[in-house]
């Protein structure tokens, strides 16, 4: 960081353009809770180690708590000329308590200070988004539980493929989000090491107790290498990468909500609270909230690219480029938080159309695989069975019929293994129920999956 804040070495004031260009308090000001917490832990450790007197430490802690209260009330005077959140708080402390405030920075640099603040903030932000994901999972499990009887087409290539339960589809979304949750939990665990005490890059001559400050701030341990501690931001890469993947998943969910609420699908009606009208077409009910979730994915992916490019060429240890880590990290977390909240509300308030979904099962020959499976279960090689089923589909298309509308004679002509039980296999409910395998859409498997997800969510609430 710039030595200008400490004077001494410099004869000229920083150029006005350079001062404005390098100021960051408008972005990093939101780190004030972590900055104050870190400073209090640091000064108490200094007193315990007899590096500062207990009187000075007590005065500093009281001053920092007063500043905390001032910021919480909204009457703290943020000064862009003081460059960043750290210098604003320290300057206010010195102004409030005098000489003792100048001792706060003993054995510390803004390099390890900001690295500590960012780890504290990101750890808390990961926990917050994990809670947001759990809130959406609660919505999905409730919706799945209430719609086990709803059958719908499953799709490949956006073509109707095979029948599934709506609940099974909603639980597929839940599985994606469960993995997103796990990535953020893992990232939070890995980042939970304290840079504090690494100073500018090489530690300090003062006999600090880094284990004590790490424990006071809820870290598992101090970071093992001072150069790495102040110069690395891979904890941001990992957490924002997890957010980018989550955002892509949310975009896929949003896309299906947009499709399903269209007149072409009409599988669902979204609440007025999560749709908008048109400025010119009075009949329109637009799924703007899912569309915005889909659109905001670019912000989160862009934040990840921003961080990757910013870090890719930096030598150890600290470089001022690292000031640019905060805006993309903040934007990524803020955006995913909002997207999760919007989708939770949109899905919770949506109404699904059972009849429309059932009607969609009647076109597109979703039962063709049942024909092939029926033959294969009677000893016909599956590839041969697949070919026979395909010929029957072709015949049905030519005659303008469904497979269940073809006469038994058509089946018998296609293969001598057929008998009239083939028509039982063409029932959509039967087709779904026959898929009674782990991860499948049968009623028993879906209700088990709902119960398992409810159990996981309850265990998290109880933890």
Task: Supply 289's token pair.
Answer: 């909230």
Other Cβ atoms closer than 10 A to 421: 9
CA distance 194 to 211: 9
- Token pair of 195, please? 């840079």
147 is catalytic: no
Question: Which token pair is 267?
Answer: 């599988």
- In order of 39, 91, 191, 298, the CA distances from 105 in angstroms are 8, 11, 24, 40
The C-alpha atoms of residue 117 and residue 136 are separated, in whole angstroms, by: 29
Long-range contacts of 289-293 (CB under 8 A, 24+ apart): 289/342, 289/343, 289/345, 289/346, 290/253, 290/254, 290/255, 290/257, 290/258, 290/261, 290/342, 290/343, 290/346, 291/254, 291/258, 292/342, 293/250, 293/251, 293/253, 293/254, 293/339, 293/342, 293/343
In degrees and rounded to multiples of 5, residue 163 shows phi and psi of: -75, 140
- Taking the CB of residue 291, how many other CB atoms lie within 10 A of it? 15
Q: Which of 54, 95, 262, 278 does the annotation list as catalytic?
A: 278
Torsion region of 364: left, alpha or beta (phi above 0 gives left; psi -120 to 50 gives alpha): left
Q: 146 — phi, psi (to 5°)? A: -85, 0
Task: Give the whole-angstrom CA distance, residue 403 versus residue 370.
Answer: 10
Which letter does DSSP use for residue 378 in this model?
T
Alpha carbons 443 and 164: distance in angstroms, whole number: 10
- Give catalytic status of residue 278 as yes or no: yes
- Alpha helices (runs of H) in 49-84, residue ranges in sequence order: 54-73
Q: Around 393, how many Cα atoms within 13 Å sit in the side-chain half-sphere?
A: 17
> What are the residues facing 164 on neighbouring strands?
152
How far apart are the C-alpha atoms of 259 and 141, rounded to whole Å? 21
Residues noted as catalytic = 157, 278
């Amino acid at each position: 960081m710039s030595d200008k804040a400490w004077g001494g070495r410099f004869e000229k004031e920083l150029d006005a353009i350079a001062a404005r260009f390098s100021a960051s308090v408008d972005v990093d000001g939101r780190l004030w809770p972590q900055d104050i917490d870190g400073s209090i832990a640091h000064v108490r450790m200094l007193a315990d180690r007899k590096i500062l007197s207990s009187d000075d430490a007590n005065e500093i802690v009281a001053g920092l708590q007063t500043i905390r209260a001032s910021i919480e009330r909204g009457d703290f005077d943020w000064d862009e000329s003081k460059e960043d959140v750290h210098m604003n708080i320290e300057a206010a402390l010195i102004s409030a308590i005098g000489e003792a405030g100048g001792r706060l920075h003993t054995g510390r640099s803004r390099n390890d200070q900001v690295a500590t603040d960012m780890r504290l903030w990101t750890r808390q932000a990961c926990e917050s988004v994990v809670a947001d994901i759990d809130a959406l999972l609660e919505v999905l499990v409730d919706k799945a539980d209430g719609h086990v009887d709803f059958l719908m087409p499953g799709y490949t290539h956006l073509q109707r493929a095979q029948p599934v339960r709506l609940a099974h589809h909603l639980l597929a979304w839940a599985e994606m989000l469960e993995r997103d949750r796990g990535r953020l939990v893992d990232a939070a665990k890995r980042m939970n090491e304290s840079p504090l005490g690494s100073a500018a890059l090489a530690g300090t001559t003062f006999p600090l107790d880094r284990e004590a400050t790490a424990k006071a701030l809820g870290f598992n341990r101090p970071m093992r290498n001072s150069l790495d501690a102040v110069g690395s931001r891979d904890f941001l890469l990992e957490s924002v990468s997890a957010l980018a993947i989550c955002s892509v998943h949310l975009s896929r969910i949003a896309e299906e909500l947009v499709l399903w609420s269209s007149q072409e699908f009409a599988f669902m009606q979204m609440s007025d609270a999560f749709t908008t009208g048109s400025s010119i077409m009075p009949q329109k009910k637009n799924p703007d909230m899912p569309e915005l979730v889909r659109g905001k994915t670019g912000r989160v992916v862009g934040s990840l690219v921003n961080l990757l490019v910013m870090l890719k060429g930096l030598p150890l240890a600290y470089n001022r480029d690292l000031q640019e880590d905060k805006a993309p990290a903040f934007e990524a977390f803020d955006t995913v938080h909002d997207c999760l909240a919007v989708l939770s509300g949109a899905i919770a308030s949506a109404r699904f159309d059972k009849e429309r979904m059932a009607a969609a099962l009647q076109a597109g020959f979703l039962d063709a695989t049942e024909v092939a499976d029926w033959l294969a279960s009677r000893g016909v090689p599956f590839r041969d069975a697949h070919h026979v089923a395909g010929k029957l589909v072709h015949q049905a298309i030519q005659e303008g019929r469904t497979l269940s509308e073809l006469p038994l004679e058509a089946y018998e002509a296609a293969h001598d293994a057929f008998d009239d039980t083939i028509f039982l296999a063409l029932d959509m409910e039967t087709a779904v129920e026959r898929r009674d395998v782990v991860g499948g859409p049968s009623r028993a498997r879906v209700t088990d999956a709902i119960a398992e997800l409810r159990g996981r969510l309850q265990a998290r609430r109880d933890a």
